[in-house]
Structure 1
């Protein structure tokens, strides 16, 4: 089981590496790592389990955050309409995106970043993602709103990019031009 101690913190070199593709079909070891990442995200959202094991609540996790430089992400999040989206993907890739931007009005957080970093993070409002599921099937997913933001945040981790890299350092709370604000 992954715990908070397994999650590396901002400044660790793995967080700035470009993660390696996972060979397909995925090895059993990689499947177990990805399954345990999803288990962490689900457990972190259960108040009793989170309290018992000292887990910080999260809605997404990328393998580099547990010091595994491979292209794997786990996402478990309710969108703005309350619909649950749960994805564990190998080699996720954004294959298309909108011109329109969106951003979380509350800013973004990260399990690897302990302090709050205020600022708007511009993201694409709509994206299409391709990846491979735990059972080895290729999927193509369309995402918008919060789900699109979470996918972009986690895929950024696979490319050594942190969410705060996108924040305007001169004016962090400057509204995103043509950006759709999303409440969370």
Structure 2
């Protein structure tokens, strides 16, 4: 089980590398990596467990963030009451619960979306203010645990989370996308989530 001490912090070179593709069939090590990353997210979203074990809440965790340079990320986005943010209807307590293996964004909207309060990251301990422009809607192709190619369309908050995690696999951190001169500049048609 991963704890905060296992999360690689900003400044570690692994966070700036392009992660290597995962090969199939999945090794037991890769299966455990996927399970452990998802377990961290589940535990971190449980207020009692998180407080007891000093976990920062997370909605996504990429393999480089635990020191493993592989193209794998876990995403766990709690469901919102008002709308579904993916093309799949869900009755689960999560709007998106997924392990992305070798993910690629194959299409994205021109319209941008960003979090009103800005983004944070388990690997970045300091608060870095500013808007992080992302595509409001994306289509992601990834591989499942059997190696089969899957495609999912995602919008709004889950899309932002997936783009943040895919950035990790490309050696980018969220603050790379903040406008350095005007950190709170926003496009006129941006969606705030």
- Kindly indicate whether the alpha-carbon contact (under 8 Å) linking 1:17 and 1:160 is maintained by their aligned counterparts in 2: yes
Match of 2:135 among 121, 124, 128: 124
C-alpha RMSD of the superposition: 1.3
Cα distance per residue 1:53-112 (max 9 Å; x no partner)? 211100000000000000000000125436521001211111111111111111000000
Deviation at 1:177, TM superposition (A): 4.2
Deviation at 1:175, TM superposition (A): 1.4
Q: How does 1:5-154 map to 2 (within 5 A)?
A: 5-80=5-80, 81=82, 84=94, 85-154=96-165
Give 5+ residue unaligned stretches, structure 1: none
Q: Distance in 1 between matches of 2:129 and 2:187?
A: 14
SS of the residue corresponding to residue 116 of structure 1 reads coil
Give 5+ residue unaligned stretches, structure 2: 85-93
Q: Distance in 2 between matches of 1:63 and 1:132?
A: 15
Q: Distance in 2 between matches of 1:109 and 1:10?
A: 12
Deviation at 1:145, TM superposition (A): 0.1
Once superposed, which parts of structure 1, at least 4 consecutive aligned residues long, lie more than 2 Å away? 78-83, 133-138
* Deviation larger for 164-173 or 51-60: 51-60
Q: Distance in 2 between matches of 1:167 and 1:181?
A: 15
Q: Normalising by structure 2, report the TM-score.
A: 0.90
Q: Distance in 2 between matches of 1:58 and 1:96?
A: 26
Give yes or no for the alignment of 1:156 onto 2:167: yes
- Kindly indicate whether the alpha-carbon contact (under 8 Å) linking 2:100 and 2:143 is maintained by their aligned counterparts in 1: yes
Matched with 1:172 is: 183
- Kindly indicate whether the alpha-carbon contact (under 8 Å) linking 1:61 and 1:73 is maintained by their aligned counterparts in 2: yes
- CA separation of 1:79/1:137 partners in 2, compared to 1, >3 Å: closer, same or farther? same
- Kindly indicate whether the alpha-carbon contact (under 8 Å) linking 2:25 and 2:146 is maintained by their aligned counterparts in 1: no
